[in-house]
Structure 1
Amino acid sequence: MIQKKTVKALDIAVFITSRSVVKPVTTEEIANGLSLSSSYTESILKELREAGLIRAHRGPGGGYQIRGNPEDISLWDVVKHFEEVHSFEKLYPDANHPMKALETGIQDNMQALLQAQTLSDVAVPFMPRDARVTSMMGQFRLKPLPPPVMPRAPNSVFQLSMMM
């Protein structure tokens, strides 16, 4: 079955996918957002970076982003770097052993399911509170205009002549 570290790696990859639309995501944001320790988060980020799934930006405004298009990265692409794909030949030397067929079937189904889902399929785009306020109020944050006043005047030249 899938290890806890693999599940956390998937959580981190999905978190980065959903949050890095606006700017790169820092280790602290990931750790706080997923209730993980910074050191544990950093160790998983290191493995994801070495696997070529994320990229790191250093300096102010830096953080982590998904490398490439999240629509092209399947969940299996993340899982396969953390899980060992088993060959049940050593465990069940008999080709007709029922447990060998069962475990191979479970592993194949899990792999097919994870290959069918991409990071963009499971990530929900996150828009920070500041961005929502700015987009609703406009970039310059001007005061709202007063309500329009209907003028009490003739609507045409003909109405004006009738008033006189």
Structure 2
Amino acid sequence: MAIKVGDEAPDFTFTLKNGSPASLKSLRQQRKAVVLYFYPKDDTPGCTAQACSFRDSYEAFSDAGAEVIGVSSDDSQSHDSFASKHRLPFSLVSDADGSLRKRYGVPRSFLGLMPGRVTYVIDRDGIVQHVFDSQLQATRHISEALDVLKRLSIS
């Protein structure tokens, strides 16, 4: 069952870029919004463009009080290499068994062969405020998320 706008985001634990443990709940306690994006695979053209677009807009996300977290099934070694190669300032989470993808209900695309590309904007109370699902518009995920964060900061 897919997580939708208005749902409470399922909690999960992960390791921050600096190596310390974190969870969605701990970020909520810090009053941070979260932009959680699921992507198919490290170092593929669309995923690299998406990650680099998040990197290039990272200051805007930080200024909006949001933490960016990327998730794919790649292992942590692949994530470390990908993040280093492209100077990614945000955390990448390994979901090798697909359990986090399943908890969020991220669909597979292209005849069920490829993991989907979905971005969730989660507010400071842990409620999903926006879901953007597009395999082919990888860089649009960034503008969609920033627009929602700006709207949330006004209200």
TM-score for the superposition, normalised by structure 1: 0.26
TM-score for the superposition, normalised by structure 2: 0.27
Larger Rg: 1
Report the structure, 1 or 2, having the larger helix content.
1
Report the structure, 1 or 2, having the larger strand content.
2
The structure showing larger relative contact order (alpha-carbon pairs under 8 Å, at least 6 residues apart) is 2
